[in-house]
Amino acid sequence: MTVSAHELGTTARRVVDVLRAHGARTRAELITLTGLSRPTVAAALTDLATTGLLTEDASATTGPAGGRPAAVFRLSRAAGLAVGVDIGRRHLRVAVADLGHTVLAEDAVRLDRDADDHPHAALDLAVRRIDAVLARVGTDRAEVVGVGLGIPAPVTDAGRIGSPALLPAWSALIPREELSGRLGGLAVRADNDANVAALAEYVWGAGRDCADLVYVKVATGIGAGIILGGRLYRGTDGTAGELGHVTLDVNGPVCRCGNRGCVELRAGGRALLDQARVTLPELGDLADLVRHASAGDPGCRRLLLDAGRYLGYALGGLSNLVNPGRIVVGGELGTSELLLEPLRRGLAETAMASAAAAVDVVPAQLGDRAAALGGLALALGVNAA
């Protein structure tokens, strides 16, 4: 017979919170992360094991100098489940994990119409897909303790869309409340898709072991998630990281955000597809653009090369400001070397020499899973600001 984490004492709940946010940890790590004494942590671990909320794995890691393996503790399936949801312009992805950070199932569907313009339909579909994935792992919403939602727009601390012009059909909504209501009151946290993808790459992907990093999503639009000192930086009202709306040309064309000459107009997927279709009207999506460029199409190659250079200019300024140790580039366009190499050169041309020397620009590792896994990170309480 198991009990919920809410029925535990204060000390045991503290250990649960740390394991939920950080994943499997040794006893020594738990002492450091909780700030509790060794006997207190030991007692809490005993309580959690007794209630069935904890599992111990003595073979997961080895001790120093090949000594006796250090026991690793993780939350069991009985502690509950987390759900991550990524709503993109033309896709929806759901992931389910236990609180020990083991991903149990994932699901992805293409959308028949843009989620940008049909928020209620997208949220309704998200609920159906969540229920389907939960059923696949033999459970239902009763086991879920938290849901994380990523959407392609900045989200304020109050939960609203930070720049309504970027997602006008969503501007009157509070996405976390909309999804929570549809899920019968489950706790939901919502954030910008680049922010949640940054969390995912930091925990599970190309950003591991780097406390100061920038994740850049290069897709239909362009966004960035910034992690400083090991914590997601969201800014005063939750809208930090809008790299796509940094101005490159004050006299340039008007962007959908209302400003002129934004990075997104030079390097965003919408702009690149519009330009490519002038000579290739049959061109499909961004993956099609990358395929043509990789196959040697001169126009598509030039578009990606120029996009990388402009992104590099913007990231050079960002590197001067926050001095990251790593820039992780993801999204549908972000892992192509046709874009990455000129990006590196553009950054080197615009960043101070010391800032440019300190930063590594690397492709993301999680691909199109990043935002859904980042939703899991939100639900788990990883690096909560």
5-78 shares its CATH topology with 207-364: no
pLDDT of residue 163: 83
Biggest alpha carbon–alpha carbon distance for the chain:
71
- Provide the token pair at 333: 């366009």
pLDDT of residue 122: 97
Residues with Cβ within 8 Å of 177's Cβ and at least 6 positions away in sequence, in order, are: 159, 188
Alpha carbons 309 and 311: distance in angstroms, whole number: 5
DSSP alpha helix (H) spans, 232-369: 263-267, 269-276, 286-294, 298-322, 337-350, 353-358
Alpha carbons 226 and 207: distance in angstroms, whole number: 11
Give per-residue pLDDT as tens, 299-333.
999 999 999 999 999 999 999 999 999 999 999 99
* Burial degree of 295 (CB within 10 A; 0-12, 13-18, 19+): exposed
pLDDT along the chain (385 residues), means of 10: 59 92 93 94 93 81 53 94 95 96 95 92 97 97 97 92 88 96 97 96 94 95 94 91 94 92 95 95 93 95 97 97 97 92 97 97 96 96 68
Residue 383 φ/ψ, nearest 5 degrees:
50, 35
- Provide the token pair at 14: 């503290």
Please check whether residue 381 is in contact with residue 17, taking contact to mean a CB–CB distance below 8 angstroms.
yes
SS3 call for 247: strand
Alpha carbons 344 and 371: distance in angstroms, whole number: 24
Q: Under CATH, domain 80-197+371-380 is a member of which superfamily?
A: ATPase, nucleotide binding domain (3.30.420.40)
- Provide the token pair at 228: 């400083």
- Provide the token pair at 380: 């788990």
Helix pair 193-204, 370-380: axis angle to 10 deg: 80
Alpha carbons 346 and 312: distance in angstroms, whole number: 4
pLDDT of residue 4: 52
- Residue spans of the domains in the chain: they are 5-78, 80-197+371-380, 207-364
pLDDT of residue 238: 85
pTM here is: 0.90
Alpha carbons 357 and 344: distance in angstroms, whole number: 11
Helix pair 10-22, 27-34: axis angle to 10 deg: 110
pLDDT of residue 142: 96
Please check whether residue 126 is in contact with residue 190, taking contact to mean a CB–CB distance below 8 angstroms.
no
Fold type of domain 207-364: Nucleotidyltransferase; domain 5 (3.30.420)
* CATH class of residue range 5-78: mainly alpha
DSSP alpha helix (H) spans, 108-267: 119-136, 175-182, 193-204, 263-267
